[in-house]
Chains A and B, each alone.
Chain A
Amino acid sequence: MYNRQVWEATPADTPVHRLDVRTKLALLAAIVIFAVGLEGPRPLFLLFLLSLGFHVVARSSVERWKILIIFLLVGIWGAMVSQALFYNQEPRTMIACLLSPTTPWIGELTGGIFVYREGLEHGAVQALRSGIMLACGLLICWTTDPRQLLQCFLHWKMPYPIAFMLITSLRFLPVIFEETAIVLTAQRLRGFEPLRTLSPIRWVRTAFYVLFPILARALRRAATLALSVESRGFGRCGHRSGMAAWPVVERFACLTVFTGITAGAVLKTLYSLQFNGIVYFPGLRGVYDFMAVWL
């Protein structure tokens, strides 16, 4: 049957687990900035490999790798197919025709459906970006105590209702997955095979059937958790223990990464100015070449 613990944060003694929660969040932010800022497929691919490498270091279980791979494959497939078909930038190179414009009615209506090479490439870049964020986000969920995340958000002055809502959703996500599996099983036991159909109407009906009991329970449970933490003195006001000191090495590493990001942003601005013919510094030619290839 369904194993809910696959989705829940699990304590372990690995370098990733040992990192301070602030370091993890700072690095996640840095990686997200890199993933959005980088445009070349090569650096993005390297960053993607790095994010998977973190999972190796965190000794993610086989079940977790399976989940990660399924999500990544679905993301890659979705991004590449959608971009390959609907890419509208120029130039674009048609590599296949799925529906000729001369096809009666539908061909005329759509103007034909083609697969574009540039669309595939753009889709791959987008897929790498989302894959990097997904891998790092899941890594944090699987290796970090939700309570520490909450403390960190509040320490960084995130509004209490938003922080609590965010953490509660993280806390209950595994339970909701588990209960969805149980509801689907209950439906199958009563002769309803929601997943063995191609009818969109039936999918919508299934979604409602699943949502009713899951939402009802999720609401009750969230209310209980909120009351439980409130009655343990946690709330909007009040003096909490300060977080443990942020280890100097980790803080320095984060500082270095963000300095690198700032430097990268400056270089990218310079490259952009040069690329658009606004400002050109001959002495920075090597930098421009590096930027063209890697960033």
Chain B
Amino acid sequence: MAGILECRNLSFTYKTRDLPSIANIDLKIEAGDFILCTGPTGCGKSTLLKAFNGLIPHEISGTICGSMLVRGVNSLDSSVAELSRTVGLMFQNPDDQIFSTTVVDEVGFALENMGMEQGAIRERVSETLAWVGLAGREQGSVHALSGGERQRLALAAVLAVRPRMLALDEPISQMDPRGAMELLQVLQKLNQELGITLVVVEHRLHEVMPLCQHVLVMEEGSIVWKGTRREAFRDPDVFLRMGLRIPQTVHICHGLGVVAASATVEDAVHNIRKAYPNCGSVVKTAAKIIPIAQANSGVDIRGLEFRYDPKGRKILDGINLSIPRGQFVALMGNNGAGKSTLLHHICGLQQAQTGQVTVNGQAVKALDRRVGMVMQNPDLMLFNATVEEEITFGLRHGGGRGQAASDWRPLLERIGLAGLEERFPLALSQGQRVRVAIASLLVCRPDILLLDEPTTGQDLGHIDDIIVLLQEYTACGGTVIFCTHDTEVAARYAERVIVMTAGGVVADAPPRDVFSREDVLRSAGLRAPAALRVSRELYGGCALCVEEVVGYVQQASMGSNAC
């Protein structure tokens, strides 16, 4: 393969910082490669991508050392416009980069900037839209597209100029599983059929890793590990050490000391069986199913119906739920299933049109103080000048329920933010911002805590921090209901999973039950966690997490699980 891009001892320091964001990067990217670049938040991944198409240093001020050659030409000698014809750059959130109101205008924008004729633009736009699965949508409004479609439109807008290389900055981090899968399929097709070189920066390794050819791991501005996907599967320690989330199949193999050749369930099962021939001889589920308690109800919902438009479809259609105090509940389903609307009813942001919602036996009032809610984007919940002001905001506005004014300090220590009291909340890292938002509600000790996608865009370390905090809260009698698309998180941590589709509840059971029902998962656009699928294939079990499978196989191979 010929080299398309080469970094030689490349370093870059932003004008506003003292230390380099990328340091001494030596990297050669071959044409047609598919590279996954990962690492902890703030390790310089996005900076590196911006250097690829010349935004650094042409548009972003700072000090650059070393050189970068794009198809043999030094990037310093080319403009961003010229470099963007070779390297297309796509950002995380399509809503931040889509500029036009119609699909055709958005895709044609880059071509107009190249000076292409209108007739040729129309032809190129149609061809590009076909590549990303949006054929025939030329005249459609960008507002009419789903989240996944908008991301594919953003991809088409970059792809229109036919770049030889695409650099994508966390393209699936905000997407639901269905949207992410659609986008990844398109990327794979572009790489395999058109030979477009791909560099994808992503935290969701478990979804991208199985598709890529090479993996780069960055830490503190440097590349600390690079190798093929196969090598990454063989040696996942570097990923685990950084709290990065590898495919569960690889994680299981690693835990069992088995070399994973790929991330597929079939390969994992095959390799484990070879190493542990006795593990499949016992047909027994890993743990018994715990029935859902119905007593001591925290939230009670009876016959809840709601529609935004009196003539429109029902957003909530006859919801009946009883959620006891102290329970940790995951609310799942595809976009538009009614999850957020249900949360809004529980916290009193929306009033029931039909039916009733009660908390601790009393009907929910508008903006009920017994219920706290963390919104999908916690940044919009941080509006004070310091962390201390943020956390005590609810207490100062009558939200405290008998706490002393100093009660928030131990909480701050528990969430690992001690010493940051005087910091500006919006200047904290993403994981810290989420924890501040949660703590600002927990300090008021609500009976119920609702969280809308709290783990989206977070790496495994941050997810664990959040979950520990929430588990402490439920241990003290609080109830947590969180919306999520992440089946691995729901399976691992939730006591109960409620699946919604088209405004109705289609499954409500412990995770083991719910994730065993393929029909339900398919209808909600979900997929059972790989750990469960491995355990099912391997020994007819229904394990919910990696440790469960590893523990079971090890015990079975020693004979302790034999009936």
Contacts and interface: CB of A to CB of B under 8 A. Distances in A.
A183 B367 contact: no
Interface in B510-544: none
Contacts of A244: 118
B102 A11 contact: yes
Given A221-B96, A239-B115, A233 B85 contact: yes
B23 to A, nearest CB: 22
A230 B80 contact: yes
Interface in A206-259: 208-210, 212-213, 216-217, 221, 224-235, 237-241, 244
A146 B116 CA distance: 20
Contacts of B110: 232-234
B465 to A, nearest CB: 21
Interface in B108-146: 109-118, 121, 139, 141, 143
A62 to B, nearest CB: 11
Nearest to B348: A189
Given A147-B99, A234-B109, A227 B383 contact: no
Interface string B360-382: 00000001010011010101111
A227 B102 CA distance: 21
A269 interface: no
B114 A189 contact: no
A231 B393 contact: no
A179 interface: yes
Nearest to B121: A241
A228 B97 contact: yes
B431 interface: no
Contacts of A239: 115
Contact of B81 (A5, A147, A233): A233
Interface string A1-36: 100010011110000000000000000000000000
B434 to A, nearest CB: 14
B88 A231 contact: yes
Contacts of A185: 349, 375
A216 B426 contact: yes
Nearest to A216: B426
Contacts of B243: none
Contacts, number: 163
A289 B111 CA distance: 56
A187 B399 CA distance: 11
Contacts of B115: 238-241
A151 interface: yes
A228 B91 contact: yes
B5 to A, nearest CB: 15
Given A146-B100, A183-B380, A232 B157 contact: yes
A240 B97 CA distance: 20
Given A182-B380, A212-B383, A234-B109, 19 more contacts: A145-B101, A147-B101, A186-B383, A187-B383, A189-B349, A189-B373, A190-B381, A190-B394, A190-B399, A209-B384, A212-B384, A213-B383, A228-B99, A231-B80, A232-B161, A233-B110, A233-B113, A234-B81, A238-B81
6 contacts: A147-B99, A190-B393, A192-B397, A217-B379, A232-B84, A233-B84
Interface of B: 50, 53, 55, 59-60, 79-81, 84-85, 88-89, 91, 93, 95-97, 99-102, 105-106, 109-118, 121, 139, 141, 143, 157-158, 161, 344, 347, 349, 367, 369, 372-373, 375, 377, 379-385, 393-394, 397-399, 426, 440-441, 444
10 A-B pairs with the lowest CB-CB distances in the bound complex, closest first = A228-B97, A233-B113, A191-B397, A232-B110, A191-B399, A209-B383, A241-B112, A233-B81, A224-B96, A239-B115
